[in-house]
């Protein structure tokens, strides 16, 4: 399971808001509840 910091490191590659939103939409259905919490925390930090 990736931590918030792992997701932040990965999401740094998203150069604009639209790309980040596409990644967030894609991951919303692929991740478990715990993973989604870490991902959303990192995505909110990037927005």
**Per-domain boundaries in the chain:** 4-46
pLDDT for the residue 31: 95
pLDDT for the residue 10: 93
Token digits of residue 19? 């790309």
pLDDT for the residue 46: 86
Nearest by Cα to 24 from 5, 41, 6, 9: 41
pLDDT for the residue 47: 80
Answer positive or negative: Cα dihedral of 22, 32, 2, 5: positive
Burial class (CB in 10 A: 0-12, 13-18, 19+), 39: buried
Distance of CA 44 to the CA centre of its chain: 8
Per-residue pLDDT of the chain (47 residues; tens, 9 = 90+): 899 999 999 999 999 999 999 999 999 999 999 999 999 999 998 88
Residues 46, 20: contact at Cβ < 8 Å? yes
pTM of the model: 0.84
């Amino acid at each position: 399971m990736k931590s918030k910091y792992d997701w932040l490191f990965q999401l740094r590659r998203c150069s604009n808001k639209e790309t980040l939103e596409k990644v967030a939409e894609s991951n919303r259905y692929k991740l478990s509840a715990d993973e989604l919490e870490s991902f959303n925390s990192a995505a909110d930090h990037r927005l």
